Structure 1
Amino acid sequence: MGIIQSLVDFILGLGPSTMLPIILTIFGLILGQGLAKSFRAGVTVGVGFVGVNLVIGLLTSSLGKAAEALVTSLGLNFDIIDVGWPIGAAITFATPIAALLIPIIFILNMILLYFNITKTMDVDLWNYWHLIFPGAMVYYATNSLILAIVLTLINATIIFKLADWTAPAVEHHFGLPGISLPHGETVNFAPIMYALNKVEDKIPGINKINLDGEKLKEKIGIFGEPLILGIILGVLLGILGRYTVTDILSLGIQMGAVMVLMPKMVALLMEGLTPISEGAKDFISKRFPGKDVYIGLDAAVVIGNPSNMTVALLMVPITIFLSVILPYNRMLPFADLAVLPFTVIWAVAASRGDIFRGLINSIITLCMVFFMATNLGPLTTQMGHAVGFEFPAGATMISGIDMSCHITLWIILKLIDYKNTPMFIAGIVALVAYAGMWYWTRNDIKKQYENETE
Structure 2
Amino acid sequence: MEAVQNIIHFILDLGATVMMPIIIVLLGLALRQKFSQAIRSGLTVGMGFAGIFLVIGLFSTNLSPAAKAMVDNFGLHLDVLDVGWPVHAAISFGTPIVPVVFILGVLINIIMLTMNWTKTMDIDLWNYWHFIFAGGLVMYKTDSAVLGVLASCITIIVVLKLADYTQPYVEKYFGMPGISLPHTEDVGWAPICIFLNKVIDKIPVINKIDINPQTIQKKFGVIGEPMFIGLVLGSFIGFLAGYNSKGIIQLGVNMAAVMFLLPRMSRILMEGLMPLSDSAREFLNSRFPGKKVFIGLDSAVVVGNPSVMAVCLLMIPVTLVLAAILPGNRIMPFTDLAGLCFCLLWSVGASRGNVFRGLIISTILMVFILYIATDIAPVSTLMAQKVGFPFPQGTLAVSSLDGGSHFIPYIIYKIVAFIVP
* Both proteins in one fold, TM over 0.5: yes
Counterparts of 1:396 and 1:418, CA distance in 2:
26
**Mapping for residues 238-387 of structure 1, pairs under 5 Å:** 238-387=238-387
Deviation, 1:419, is 5.8
SS at match of 2:352: coil
Counterparts of 1:9 and 1:415, CA distance in 2:
31
What is the identity percentage for the equivalent residue pairs of Structure 1 and Structure 2?
Answer: 48
Greater shift, 106-115 or 296-305, is seen at: 106-115
Counterparts of 1:222 and 1:302, CA distance in 2:
23
Deviation, 1:108, is 1.2
1:136 aligned residue: 136
Going from structure 1 to structure 2, the CA distance change for 1:419 and 1:155 (only over 3 Å counts) comes to: closer
2:96 aligned residue: 96
Going from structure 1 to structure 2, the CA distance change for 1:349 and 1:419 (only over 3 Å counts) comes to: closer
Whether contact under 8 Å (1:93, 1:99) holds in the other structure is no
SS at match of 1:81: strand
Whether contact under 8 Å (1:329, 1:374) holds in the other structure is yes
SS at match of 1:210: coil
Whether contact under 8 Å (2:167, 2:180) holds in the other structure is yes
Deviation, 1:205, is 1.0
2:179 aligned residue: 179
Whether contact under 8 Å (1:181, 1:298) holds in the other structure is yes
Going from structure 1 to structure 2, the CA distance change for 1:419 and 1:187 (only over 3 Å counts) comes to: closer
2:3 aligned residue: 3
State the AA in 2 paired with 1:402: D
Counterparts of 2:404 and 2:44, CA distance in 1:
34
Counterparts of 1:311 and 1:266, CA distance in 2:
19
- TM-score scaled by structure 1? 0.91
Deviation, 1:420, is 8.5
Whether contact under 8 Å (2:24, 2:41) holds in the other structure is yes
Going from structure 1 to structure 2, the CA distance change for 1:241 and 1:58 (only over 3 Å counts) comes to: same
Deviation, 1:201, is 0.7
The count of aligned residue pairs is 421
Deviation, 1:223, is 3.1
Cα shift readout 1:289-328 (whole Å, capped 9, x = no counterpart): 1211111100000001011111111111111111011112
Please list every run of 5 or more consecutive structure 1 residues that lacks an aligned counterpart in the other structure. Answer: 422-454
Please list every run of 5 or more consecutive structure 2 residues that lacks an aligned counterpart in the other structure. Answer: none
1:443 aligned residue: none
Greater shift, 214-223 or 88-97, is seen at: 214-223
State the AA in 2 paired with 1:400: S
- The answer on 1:415 being equivalent to 2:415 is yes
SS at match of 1:418: helix
SS at match of 2:402: coil
Cα shift readout 1:353-387 (whole Å, capped 9, x = no counterpart): 01110000000111110010111111111111111
Counterparts of 1:338 and 1:294, CA distance in 2:
29
Whether contact under 8 Å (2:74, 2:320) holds in the other structure is no
Deviation, 1:278, is 0.8
Whether contact under 8 Å (1:98, 1:136) holds in the other structure is no
Greater shift, 393-402 or 298-307, is seen at: 393-402
SS at match of 1:328: coil
2:109 aligned residue: 109
Whether contact under 8 Å (1:217, 1:225) holds in the other structure is yes
Cα shift readout 1:27-76 (whole Å, capped 9, x = no counterpart): 11111121111110111000111100100100111111111111122221
1:226 aligned residue: 226
Cα shift readout 1:378-432 (whole Å, capped 9, x = no counterpart): 11111111111111122121000111111112211221223689xxxxxxxxxxx
State the AA in 1 paired with 2:124: D
State the AA in 1 paired with 2:188: N
1:44 aligned residue: 44
SS at match of 2:81: strand
Going from structure 1 to structure 2, the CA distance change for 1:220 and 1:326 (only over 3 Å counts) comes to: farther
SS at match of 2:403: coil
State the AA in 2 paired with 1:309: M
- The answer on 1:206 being equivalent to 2:188 is no
